[in-house]
Amino acid sequence: YDSLGLTLRRHPLALLRPQLTKRRLMSAEALNQAPNGRLVRHCGIVTLRQQPGTAAGVVFVSLEDETGVVQVIVWKHLRERQRTVLTQSRLLAVHGVWQREGEAKNLIAGHLEDLTPLLHGLSTVSRDFH
């Protein structure tokens, strides 16, 4: 995982799942079952950060865990308040509102938490675009 960003064995977060569960952080699979508007907590490895010029300061983040990928929307006011956590975290926890309309599913961030120390030095890389 360190050199290629993928593994033929268990996903790194599968090993952390007991700790994440204690923190009430849901997996991507569990989130997919959550109803629209539910307050939720999720954690994943940051695989993508994107801030399109046409998005009025909104940042889109992709978080990967052992069960899938969750798309996170970070509004401009939160981006400004938690810029360091947003831009530096490799393992990011998001507390927010689960939004689903048909097949479109997003986690609207209300608070960000850097859990990178739980990776114990595991190297991860995200693709960051602006």
**Residue 31, CB half-sphere, CA atoms under 13 Å: how many?**
33
- Statement: residue 3 has pLDDT above 80: no
Across the chain, how many H-helices and E-strands are there? 4, 6
> pTM for the full model?
0.85
Which among 69, 68, 50 is positioned nearest to 59, based on CA atoms? Answer: 50
Which among 109, 125, 31, 32 is positioned nearest to 75, based on CA atoms? Answer: 109
Homologous superfamily in CATH for domain 12-129: Nucleic acid-binding proteins (2.40.50.140)
| Residues above pLDDT 90, as percent of the chain | 72
Q: Domains of the chain: which residue ranges?
A: 12-129
User: pLDDT, tens digit, for every residue of 33-67?
Assistant: 999 999 999 999 999 999 988 888 899 999 999 99
Which pLDDT belongs to residue 12? 84
